Structure 1
Amino acid sequence: MNCAGHNSYQTNRSGFIGIPINMYISKQRVLYCLTLFIYTILPSTVLAQTTYFVSGAGNDATDGRSFNAAFRSIDRVNQLTLKAGDSLLFRRGDVFRGTLLIRQSGSATRPILIGAYGNGAKPVLTGSVSVTNWVNLGNNRWQAPCPDCGSRVTGMYRNGVSLPLGRYPNPDAPNRGYLTVQAHAGNSQLTSQEPLTTNWTGAEVVLAPTYWIIDRAGITQQDGNTLTLNNPSTYTLTDTWGFLIQNHPATLDQTGEWYYNPANHTLQLYDDRGNPNTQTITATAANRSIDIANASFITIKSLRITEAKTENLFASNVSDLVLSDNDFTNAGEDGIVIQGTGRNILIEASTIRDINNNGVNIGSYQTVTFRKNTLKNIGVAPNRGKSGDGQFTAFQCFATQNTLIENNVVDSVGYIGVSVFSNSTIRQNSIANFCMVKSDGGGIYLWNGNQLPLHDIRIESNIVQKGVGTTGSLLSDVYSGAHGIFLDDCVESVMVTDNTISDCHGLGIYMHAVSRVSLLRNTCFNNSVGQLILYNYNAQCFPRNNTLRQNILVAKTATQPVAGYISGANDLSDFGLMAQNYYARPVNDVFTIRAVYNRTVVNDLSLSQWQTQFKQDLTSKTSPITYKDYRIKSLSSNALATSTFTNSSEDWSTWSPYNNGSASWSINGQLEGGSLQVSFPQASGQNDSYMLAYKNIQSVTKSKSYRLLFDARATAAKKIVVFMRQQNSPYQDLSSRYEVLAEPAKKTYELVLTALVNDPSALLTIQVQEDNQTVWLDNVSLKETVIEPVNPDNLIRLHYNPTTKDSLIVLKGTFRDVKNHYYTRQLTLKPFTSVILLSDSLPPVDVSLSLKVVQTALKVGDVASFSLTLRNESPGQNKISSRVQWACQLPANLMLIGGSGLSYKEGELSGTVQQLKTDTTFAFQLKATMAGQYIVAARVTATTYADPDSTPDSDTDEGDDEDDEASIHLSVQQLTAVDTTNLVTATEPVAASTKHAVYPNPTASEFSFITEADVATLRVADMLGRECLRLDAVRRDQLIHFGQQLPAGLYLLTIQYTSGEQRTMKVVKRDN
């Protein structure tokens, strides 16, 4: 054939060849000439590449190498011997039944491609067969033969939608759709609490022996309500837990339910809505839709792989496998299983959906990447998954090197969302609605019970939320055990950073017997059992060398736990380092940390108590804002109890198990006038000693509320438990118990107690433990009130961004976060970040910080005198910024030698101003012990009011507009041969000064003063005696500058020398 043809052409005016005069060349001729041209110009190395086409309208008798000569069936394709560079393309919109077998390999430059061609929906590779010839058996039951279904069927589908396997009881039946295990014998026999009127022999039971296991077992015998089971499980049954029965025709009574009889290979279907012969009904027949073995360099792209009996895609001993843009749906058991060994597995941009058991399961491979995939509805039916451990999981991978799980969406999973082994990164994934049928699992779960060496595991910037959990026993209605991030049994060497975990029926982060885990900058919010627990009772691995820093742990409700540190030994202080964390429960922000040690010692502690007792979290903080969870609508004028303790104990009585408690009238000045002193005059020597102090309040009415007000103070931080109880047997509580913390400073407390039952003779009761501390009570008032609850959702909000782009959040109102950052109008969240916002009705107050030092050039042994000033930059608002706190990190080799009223912990110096009106100055001294260059940096760490233009506690440089932090550079030189012990730090030549005098005085700037002797205290007060400035421990001949931040006015300077001598003089500060 002459490819030039014999057409005659004409030339247009521009000289180009125009439209042919004779247009009779055929499409086949064009294709032939084009193909010949391509093969002529391509190098010989690609001549072996062949593209095979498969079409539902094809013919297996052709060679399959063109559209019009496409193969028809998978059976024909399986006869091919594919070579490197070959492509196997299935026509879009068509369905291909059977198992595609891949046993050949491509190469690094010429992989074998399995893909799609044409237009329309992705081609379907399915392991199911069509079920036809339905016969009506009556009562909405239909039956059809399925000769290819084999010994079992794991899925049946109508128009591509999974149908429910028949079960008894139905999911919507009472008792949550379960029967109850009343008694059992090991794992082979159970007795049902509910009557079994049907003979279920030959059927199958589905039961949960424990929280993380669902087993299936055949019924071999029935004797009344007792079933004998063929149960290979190693887990013993549990009484009061549920079970169901399936795989029996008697279970069919709801639309779509089905049953398969392997004896005669028939399917039964309950259908009260139409004739199944008019519908497309399919059932799983082939074990796998795609089966790959001992192959490498395979790419599978743009296919829908569905309805296999066991695995939609199964691969064994493969390397360089790419699965891209595929849909794995409706698996009878597992979606993707890759077993054996190999390397370089990439699964991306795919959907794994409606899978009965595991979504993806990858064995001991190296270099596995799983990214930009969606996994949904994985193992969500309790009766459809497999028995034993490791089932009902969306993604699990046991790869030992270079696993990357990134930018995936996991939604609706029966058990675990994502689980990996060693050398893995789980980054920027969104995981929600996990542990839907099992519990004691996690959205992200790691386990190392075999104590294998783990290394370099990173869990970064994931958003995990809405873990569901189960109740376990049918007697319980509390759903739990769905933890956000769960590191279990000897996991080690993990970095958990910048994750957000919220709204789980379990713990936000649960760490059990872990070591060398770094928990950094994670946010946990509204997780029902608690935001964080680090725990060990019996595990062989002890929690050691863990680091928990800068985590935000916020409970939403007044009773929701915040954090717990739990041990069977007395080693909580050895768990690791905790610092700069936020333990916040804005609605009841007191006892936020539970400490358990020696198994039986349980203490709910405030942050300050935890710091004092265990020396942890010394730089951590509580919520900057607190709320009540109620609002008082009305208050009765009649009091059930009023105690002012003016001259007596006013009928308060006590009871203690060791008869050593006392509640007596006191006039010792601890509170105004008289007070009730609650103490233990004689020690019992018993760890369980406590006391009840109580007063009769007459009758209370069920569901009515009573407001309690009282003042209290204690010799040290002490827990007080307040409640109402019965005066007479059985001495039951009549209200919930509320805990408050009494401290050395007097405080007024308000609580609302709601009666649980009617009682004619109730007691207002206060309980305290024996701990060598005394508490005083005063001004007790109990009145009936009407309250309305306050919805915490209106006060505390979590915003998060689960996308890879910045997200703009529009705000209605003003807010603060736990770091006291101020937000209004809008905020921008970076990808996979979050913020918890606290509604703030108070106006912002700008607080600035400045830091000064007398001299920055020092020698070893010199003392540098610093002054740190806090200033309220919003005086025009006439507001008081209460309790402003600051911190200064001291470098090593600068030793603190003076700083009255300041706190020093973990190398950090800190101070507090209870009421900052204008400015307050702190002074401290540091002694240089080694030559070097040092930076002393200070910052505001907490304020009662939000700071509108600064970011306290950010630990980052946010820009030049930050006025709540300052730093000074010091240069320290070694002593030289001419130095003597009489040389004094911070002296400088003064030409026009007079010793023993303050100069200049008056001044509009700052005062200067040279000490003529060692000074114990230098104090500046206004004319009302209010202290404005204080310096401690100033050495002889030292030059001091002070008063720059003082407002204009007259002040008294008092100098107290170490010798006992005191001098007082007036100093005048002028306006600038």
Structure 2
Amino acid sequence: MGIRIGLVLSIWALTWSIASAQTTYYVANTGSDENDGRSLLTPFQNLAKVNTLSLQAGDAVLFRRGDTFRGSLQIRKSGSIGKAIRFDAYGNGPKPLLTGSVVVSNWTSLGNNRWQASCSTCGTTVTNVFRNGLAQPLGRYPNPDAPNRGSLTVQAHVGTSQLTSREPLRTDWTGAEVVLRPTYWIIDRATITQQNENNLILNNSSTYPLTEGWGYFIQNHPATLDQSGEWYYNPTSKTIQLYTDQINPNAQVLTAAAVDRVIDIAGASFIILKNLHIAQARTTNLYALNVSNLTLTDTDFTDSGEDGVIIQGEGKDILINRCSITNSNNNGFVIGSYQNVTFQQNIIRHTAILPGRGKSGDGQFTAFQSSATQNTLIEHNIIDSVGYIGLSVQNNSTIRQNLITNFCMTKSDGGGIYLFNGAQLPMDNILVQSNIIRNGIGTFGGLSDNVIGGAHGIFLDDCVNGVDLVDNTIADCQGLGIYLHSVSNLNLLRNTCFNNSLAQLILYNYDRSCLPRNNIIKGNILVAKNATQAVAGYISSANDLAMFGTMEHNYYARPFNDVSIIRSVYNGNIVNDLNLPQWQAQFSRDGTSKPSPISYKEYSIQSVSNVNRIHNSFDSNTEGWEAWGPYSNGQVTWNTGYKLDGGNLQLNVSTLSHQADSYVLMYKGIQAVTKSKSYLLQFDATSPTERKISVFIRKQQAPYQDLTRRYEFIVGPSRRSYEFALTPSTDEANALLTFQFHEDSQPVCFDNIRLQEASIVLNNPDDFIRFVYNPTSSDSTVTLDKPYRDVRNHYYNRQVTLKPFTSVILLLDTFPPVDIRLWFQTDQPYPKINEVTSFSVALYNESVGQTTGLNKVQWTCRLPAGLTLVNSNGLSYKDSLLTGTVQHLQRDTTFVFQVKTATPGSYSLAAEVTATTFADPDSTPDSGTNDGEDDSGLTTLRVRTQTDTTAVVTATDPLTGRNSIYPNPSSDVFTFVAEADISLSRVVDLLGRERLNLGAIRQGQTIRFGQQLPGTYYLLYIQYNTGEQRIIKLIKR
């Protein structure tokens, strides 16, 4: 009995405690607003009843799953710390649906597939009509699939209030709405107030004047209804007309968006919305004003007439987690000047993809827009299919590991991530890190046939500053990968841009007072997929490109045409398309940056005709070639020498005009050419100085237009052979093969020019370049069926593994890998001050016999402050950086340099391979010295004073020091006892080739090794955890 009484008392006490802390209210379609709502058996029925409750901190309102609740939920009460007011779901099945639509029934036929019904609760506008839950199209003229891309044309205009249509308007459109594109980034809507034939008078509040020659269309008028599902709303009669050639609408469920806000929160705090489906508001599915401690989690917001979620006013501590916002006609998510905002693991999809359904003016058609000012975190979200901008933020924001795809689908001149600071306000602490941005779509300019390349991956516009763009991936955009317009104090670090149509990176300033300064552009990978895509551009109206910032360790790659990969524009009109060495030499930027490690032809030759259009070896004359220049100073002569075969054709300038627009043409007639046929051009060329030349086929007579694309190539002091396939775009009876270069005092010499008809097949870049990315939170492994390398020359054979939100651009490797090893050591690790110390850098080709061409290898070593270079032995030395290059590493080679210092102390030096011709199977050039790879080495000098009497262990004495090796000499096994912790140990022969790698050894550990070594001399290389290094000579008998 005592136990039973105790149990009853415990249950009673627990129940009383819960009741005193909170009240749970239940709402179900089968309930009644006359109930108390406090149990599953006595639920409320309607949202209007819930709005009358005087909710207290800790209360919960639960909606039954699978039910639909029409109307608006008004939240005006607040919870408290630890006692939030919660709106949630109960039961089983789909999330409860809270909707702003009303059922429209009793449809009557008007004939010709038109039906009409009253909507007495609809207001001045209806933004959506749904049939069986699916949004139906608002009627428009012309239809989207009509000619002219479904548009009429603005013939003339007066400001914003009047337009004249190029096409005749035979219907009276008064009262309808016109949808206008005044510019690329604006879509406006205006009411037609008056019509006089083809002239429309508009009630248009836009600040953007109309653009002649651009399109417009008309909507929300009964005359537009001619396709199934199209509808029109008459606000005067409050009726909806529907065109349907399918089922009688009375046999379907049709609803109209009538309630402005399904969730309306004002002045409340400590509110939780969870496991709900909020849908079909006339304007906004959730609107909150001046709220704090608001949590939205596991809730879906769909089919809003305008915006999905709007949080305005001021407040703090906002969490949106695992929600979805889909099918918003205007903006997806907008938040005002709040603090402590977290937006995690959400999906925003299908935002503003219908041009006539979003709002007019700026700031519209955006998936995510934040004006929050402090501690904003946006991470692990998916933003997909958006009419304009994917994501935009202000200060103190982190945008991390988001996937943004398919943006600028309705407007252009925007970005997947877009930041703007036209007012030049202070900006700080914005981190954009490890996002993947793909498939900027772009829209047409006016009614032309060209898609404007205005869908940029990351777009920082008008005086943005203080932003870090780090480890982002941008690919497949119809625009620029990264567009930086008048930015400063920017860190652009380790980003990857691939296959963006206009260019991978542009840093630009033309007319803004905020000059690009103090930017750091480092470690970025910029790869153009095809031969016509640009890689990068640096553009200014002044002569200040070298002042834009620090640029280093970037990769500028266009494997199908690595010639003019960087466009420089300065003083507004001086334009140069440069290769990387030219850019480095002219502007002293990107000294450590690299071009593509491998190149491909744009075509494969199937067959070549035996008939030569041109076959000139210039044995004795110029063979009919001519020259021309706009200043009559071009000439061709016959010459010998210049590293060519006997006689050659020399193109030069007789007298320099010193005009910026001066150029010289060298040409020869080739008779008729045929559209789409290919002509294979081969020749040799050289010049005393490096320069860029273009070759093409053009018309012989006026208007002298080009018949083929212009192909650029670089000539220089070394003789090179060239090959191009020229394919005319039209037939021409009299064509010229033409070479063109800018005026210069040095000649260009040609030899062995041959032109033949050929059958070619264009190579598909997808067969050579593979882009792999991982948009997930786990490692991802991709199997490879061919060997590849990346731009860093890292080799991939069977697979590639990517960390979360990383990517790699793989280049098909047509050559076998070559293993390069570096050995770095000093002859005196403990010198005295001012004592000259020698260092040796040994390079070893451990894949001897595998290469078919020159195996060029470059290494660098940066001297720490305090060391003075005494003897470079021919090495390049600039800004404390030593650089050594071997043009063809067949087996091994050694470089030696000497240093000294007048200051005692410890100096750490590192040497690493920074560039190779071939991929390395176990190392990545220029990847740092702390990655454990064998293409780098570390050593430390400990410089003593002249009076320092501390004992110094000699480098090759096997019997002294703190380690014991015995026996030495040995005819079998060496035994080694470590008396200190060792980070690295290996045995090499006297040529520096590694024979054994003993790895890390703990203090006191005993290692036995060397039984398999042949009898000769060896060196045991030891590096202690302290950084000290030691070499012990071993004798094997």
| SS of alignment partner, residue 68 of structure 1 | coil
Using the alignment, how far apart are the partners of 1:68 and 1:469 within structure 2?
Answer: 55
Q: Which of the numbers 542, 547, 550 marks the counterpart of 1:574?
A: 547
| SS of alignment partner, residue 845 of structure 1 | coil
CA shift in 2, pair 1:905/1:561, >3 Å = farther
Q: Name 1:614's counterpart in structure 2.
A: 587
| SS of alignment partner, residue 573 of structure 1 | helix
Question: Counterparts in 2 of 1:728-739, with a 5 A limit?
Answer: 728-739=701-712
- The 8 Å contact of residues 894 and 926 in structure 1, kept in 2 or not, is answered as yes
- The 8 Å contact of residues 400 and 434 in structure 2, kept in 1 or not, is answered as yes
Question: Counterparts in 2 of 1:186-585, with a 5 A limit?
Answer: 186-585=159-558
The CA deviation at 1:159 is 1.4
| SS of alignment partner, residue 892 of structure 1 | coil
CA shift in 2, pair 1:137/1:690, >3 Å = same
The CA deviation at 1:869 is 2.1
The CA deviation at 1:880 is 4.7
Using the alignment, how far apart are the partners of 1:712 and 1:840 within structure 2?
Answer: 28
The CA deviation at 1:604 is 0.6
Deviates more, 1:207-216 or 1:192-201: 192-201
Q: Partner amino acid for 2:652?
A: S
Q: Which of the numbers 965, 968, 980 marks the counterpart of 2:936?
A: 965
- The 8 Å contact of residues 929 and 938 in structure 2, kept in 1 or not, is answered as no
Q: Name 1:142's counterpart in structure 2.
A: 115
Q: Partner amino acid for 1:504?
A: C
Deviates more, 1:262-271 or 1:914-923: 914-923
- The 8 Å contact of residues 442 and 483 in structure 1, kept in 2 or not, is answered as yes
CA shift in 2, pair 1:929/1:736, >3 Å = farther
Using the alignment, how far apart are the partners of 1:779 and 1:100 within structure 2?
Answer: 83
| SS of alignment partner, residue 265 of structure 2 | strand
Deviates more, 1:893-902 or 1:407-416: 893-902
Using the alignment, how far apart are the partners of 1:868 and 1:892 within structure 2?
Answer: 20
The CA deviation at 1:528 is 0.4
| SS of alignment partner, residue 67 of structure 1 | coil
CA shift in 2, pair 1:180/1:1043, >3 Å = farther
Using the alignment, how far apart are the partners of 1:125 and 1:772 within structure 2?
Answer: 78
| SS of alignment partner, residue 125 of structure 1 | strand
Q: Partner amino acid for 1:971?
A: R
Please state if 1:628 is matched with 2:601: yes
The CA deviation at 1:261 is 0.3
The CA deviation at 1:563 is 0.5
CA shift in 2, pair 1:34/1:977, >3 Å = closer
Using the alignment, how far apart are the partners of 1:122 and 1:580 within structure 2?
Answer: 52
Please state if 1:164 is matched with 2:137: yes
Using the alignment, how far apart are the partners of 1:938 and 1:48 within structure 2?
Answer: 68
- The 8 Å contact of residues 881 and 945 in structure 1, kept in 2 or not, is answered as no
Deviates more, 1:263-272 or 1:650-659: 650-659
Using the alignment, how far apart are the partners of 2:32 and 2:308 within structure 1?
Answer: 30
Using the alignment, how far apart are the partners of 1:624 and 1:339 within structure 2?
Answer: 52
Using the alignment, how far apart are the partners of 1:672 and 1:371 within structure 2?
Answer: 68
Using the alignment, how far apart are the partners of 1:405 and 1:491 within structure 2?
Answer: 19
- The 8 Å contact of residues 141 and 217 in structure 2, kept in 1 or not, is answered as yes
The CA deviation at 1:646 is 2.2
- The 8 Å contact of residues 567 and 598 in structure 1, kept in 2 or not, is answered as yes
Using the alignment, how far apart are the partners of 2:491 and 2:275 within structure 1?
Answer: 40
Q: Partner amino acid for 2:528?
A: A
Deviates more, 1:850-859 or 1:62-71: 850-859
Question: Counterparts in 2 of 1:854-893, with a 5 A limit?
Answer: 854-877=827-850, 879-880=852-853, 882-893=855-866
Q: Partner amino acid for 1:176?
A: R
- The 8 Å contact of residues 816 and 851 in structure 2, kept in 1 or not, is answered as no
Q: Partner amino acid for 2:572?
A: R
Using the alignment, how far apart are the partners of 1:598 and 1:1043 within structure 2?
Answer: 59
The CA deviation at 1:43 is 7.0
Using the alignment, how far apart are the partners of 2:566 and 2:7 within structure 1?
Answer: 76
Using the alignment, how far apart are the partners of 1:656 and 1:791 within structure 2?
Answer: 38
Using the alignment, how far apart are the partners of 1:859 and 1:300 within structure 2?
Answer: 73
The superposition leaves residues 633-686 of structure 1 with CA deviations (integer Å, 9 ceiling, x where unpaired) of 001122111222222222221111112223222224443322222222422121
CA shift in 2, pair 1:78/1:261, >3 Å = same
CA RMSD of aligned residues (A): 2.4
Using the alignment, how far apart are the partners of 1:721 and 1:929 within structure 2?
Answer: 55
Using the alignment, how far apart are the partners of 2:847 and 2:341 within structure 1?
Answer: 57
| SS of alignment partner, residue 608 of structure 1 | helix
Please state if 1:895 is matched with 2:895: no
Q: Which of the numbers 625, 633, 637 marks the counterpart of 1:660?
A: 633
The superposition leaves residues 610-651 of structure 1 with CA deviations (integer Å, 9 ceiling, x where unpaired) of 000000000000111110110000011221112222222222
Using the alignment, how far apart are the partners of 2:647 and 2:831 within structure 1?
Answer: 56
| SS of alignment partner, residue 330 of structure 2 | coil
Deviates more, 1:772-781 or 1:741-750: 772-781
The CA deviation at 1:910 is 2.0
The CA deviation at 1:234 is 0.4
CA shift in 2, pair 1:782/1:335, >3 Å = same
The CA deviation at 1:485 is 0.8
Deviates more, 1:645-654 or 1:740-749: 645-654
Q: Name 2:149's counterpart in structure 1.
A: 176
The CA deviation at 1:451 is 1.1
Question: Counterparts in 2 of 1:907-946, with a 5 A limit?
Answer: 907-928=880-901, 930-946=903-919
The CA deviation at 1:839 is 0.8
The CA deviation at 1:901 is 4.8
Using the alignment, how far apart are the partners of 1:897 and 1:182 within structure 2?
Answer: 76
TM-score w.r.t. length of structure 1: 0.87
- The 8 Å contact of residues 468 and 479 in structure 1, kept in 2 or not, is answered as no
CA shift in 2, pair 1:897/1:203, >3 Å = farther
Q: Partner amino acid for 1:228?
A: I
Using the alignment, how far apart are the partners of 2:504 and 2:421 within structure 1?
Answer: 23
CA shift in 2, pair 1:254/1:915, >3 Å = same
Q: Which of the numbers 64, 73, 78 marks the counterpart of 1:105?
A: 78
The CA deviation at 1:209 is 0.7
| SS of alignment partner, residue 630 of structure 2 | coil
Question: Gapped runs of 5+ residues in structure 1?
Answer: 5-15, 18-32, 979-986, 991-1041, 1048-1070
- The 8 Å contact of residues 885 and 911 in structure 1, kept in 2 or not, is answered as yes
Q: Partner amino acid for 2:766?
A: D
TM-score w.r.t. length of structure 2: 0.90
Q: Partner amino acid for 1:882?
A: N
Using the alignment, how far apart are the partners of 2:684 and 2:839 within structure 1?
Answer: 39
CA shift in 2, pair 1:802/1:988, >3 Å = closer
Using the alignment, how far apart are the partners of 1:65 and 1:459 within structure 2?
Answer: 48
Question: Gapped runs of 5+ residues in structure 2?
Answer: 958-988, 995-1035
Deviates more, 1:322-331 or 1:872-881: 872-881
- Percent identical: 58
Question: Counterparts in 2 of 1:744-763, with a 5 A limit?
Answer: 744-763=717-736
Using the alignment, how far apart are the partners of 2:417 and 2:72 within structure 1?
Answer: 33
Using the alignment, how far apart are the partners of 1:763 and 1:629 within structure 2?
Answer: 23
The superposition leaves residues 994-1051 of structure 1 with CA deviations (integer Å, 9 ceiling, x where unpaired) of xxxxxxxxxxxxxxxxxxxxxxxxxxxxxxxxxxxxxxxxxxxxxxxx994699xxxx
| SS of alignment partner, residue 13 of structure 2 | helix
- The 8 Å contact of residues 872 and 881 in structure 1, kept in 2 or not, is answered as no
- The 8 Å contact of residues 815 and 851 in structure 2, kept in 1 or not, is answered as no
| SS of alignment partner, residue 868 of structure 2 | strand
Using the alignment, how far apart are the partners of 1:149 and 1:989 within structure 2?
Answer: 94
